[in-house]
Amino acid sequence: MPNGTEKPGLTRSVEGKVTINDIARLANVSKKTVSRVINNSPLVREDTRRRVQAVIKRSGFTPDPRARALAFRRSFLVGMIYDNPSPQYVVNMQRGILDALEDTGHLLVLQPCDRSNPDLLDQIRAFVREQKPKGVILTPSISEDEEVAEILRQEDCPYVRIASVAVDDSDKLVRTHDHDGGREAARHLASLGHTRIAHVHGPELFRSAHERRRGFEEGLAEFGLTLLPELTREGAYTFDTGVECARELLSLDNPPTAIFLGNDEMAVGAYHAARAQGLRIPEDISVVGYDDTPMASRVWPLMTTVRIAIRDLGGEATRLLLGGREYADAKGEVDFSPELIVRASTRSLNGAA
């Protein structure tokens, strides 16, 4: 007996969901015609399309992407494989991917991983075979792993890599030029008159960390400065390591007057460490972050940081993945250049401009 909440004329699957068979019966068309409407096939008369769409809307029917994939032998899932420990980075990347997937009929499926895991390659292969995604977006640092890319090639799974350097062909690559971002951070602090400048970089495993540090050292060299080992720490792109590394640096007998941290999350940790020691930003210590995530404009004072549009990175990687060679040929190389965003967490010393 109807439970009072079912729509007239509808039967239910075992799980209680409206099925494609219900839609076909109510619209007086075949199941194949319903599938064609769902997938925007041109092989449907316009009046039939409108009738089926009206039934779908009235019934609240939602197509199952897995069922669609099985029926059409293609997938409506896009994978994101990531190992970045920063929640801010991951969330912004997801938002960009979802922006680009809107109105495409595709869904996002996530696969977190750990590059130190000895079963990493088996994990990636299992993910591809089980989910059967239409393609995969690889974010740093997993994007820099050639063995992971080779697994995807072996499984005939299209992919796009987001990376600091040219690790692949242009139709499979979105570049971020982190070297340039590190250099801009150094130029900014050195131009303000700082000479004792510290750097907390990301994990050694991340190419982005190497590129940002290399650019930072080159920027300092332009002003005759050197990044001293005693003023260098390795963080993990997390708030806690930002606190720990900044605390160590600020506790030195001769502490730095400025710190450049490899991402905003660690930079917020530096804010915490400075205040715990009674120091003011920027009066006592200047701080520069990286990424320009939302937290950079929510802390006080507002954080000077290097902007790399993470959300836009995710969107462009997705469009490149779905558009393939045609999109790449029309777009050319997909590059993102970092931009220094000067806010209130840095100050000039000794009247330097």
CATH number for position 209: 3.40.50.2300
Residues 237 and 172 in one domain: no
Predicted confidence at residue 316, as pLDDT, reads 95
Residues 169 and 91 in one domain: yes
Predicted confidence at residue 16, as pLDDT, reads 57
Residues 104 and 136 in one domain: yes
Structural domain range at position 47 = 20-69
Residues 63 and 210 in one domain: no
Residues 212 and 134 in one domain: no
Predicted confidence at residue 42, as pLDDT, reads 61
What is the model's pTM? 0.76
SS3 labels along the chain: CCCCCCCCCCCCCCCCCCCHHHHHHHHCCCHHHHHHHHCCCCCCCHHHHHHHHHHHHHHCCCCCHHHHHHHHCCCCEEEEEECCCCHHHHHHHHHHHHHHHCCCCCEEEEEECCCCCCCHHHHHHHHHHHHCCCEEEECCCHHHCHHHHHHHHHCCCCEEEEECCCCCCHHHEEECCHHHHHHHHHHHHHHCCCCCEEEEECCCCCHHHHHHHHHHHHHHHCCCCCCCHHHEEECCCCHHHHHHHHHHHHCCCCCCCEEEECCHHHHHHHHHHHHHCCCCCCCCCEEEEEECCHHHHCCCCCCEEEECCHHHHHHHHHHHHHHHHHHHHHHCCEECCCEEECCCCCCCCCCCC
Residues 299 and 183 in one domain: yes
Residues 103 and 36 in one domain: no
- Per-10-residue mean pLDDT of the chain, 353 residues long, equals 46 62 90 79 80 89 64 73 89 95 91 90 94 94 93 95 89 94 99 98 92 98 98 96 99 98 98 98 98 95 97 95 76 86 95 53
200 is a domain residue: yes
Predicted confidence at residue 62, as pLDDT, reads 79
Residues 151 and 34 in one domain: no
Residues 188 and 219 in one domain: yes
Residues 184 and 300 in one domain: yes
3 is a domain residue: no
Whether residue 270 contacts residue 282, with contact meaning beta carbons closer than 8 Å, is answered with no
Residues 304 and 183 in one domain: yes
The tally of domains found in the chain comes to 3
Residues 42 and 59 in one domain: yes
Predicted confidence at residue 66, as pLDDT, reads 59
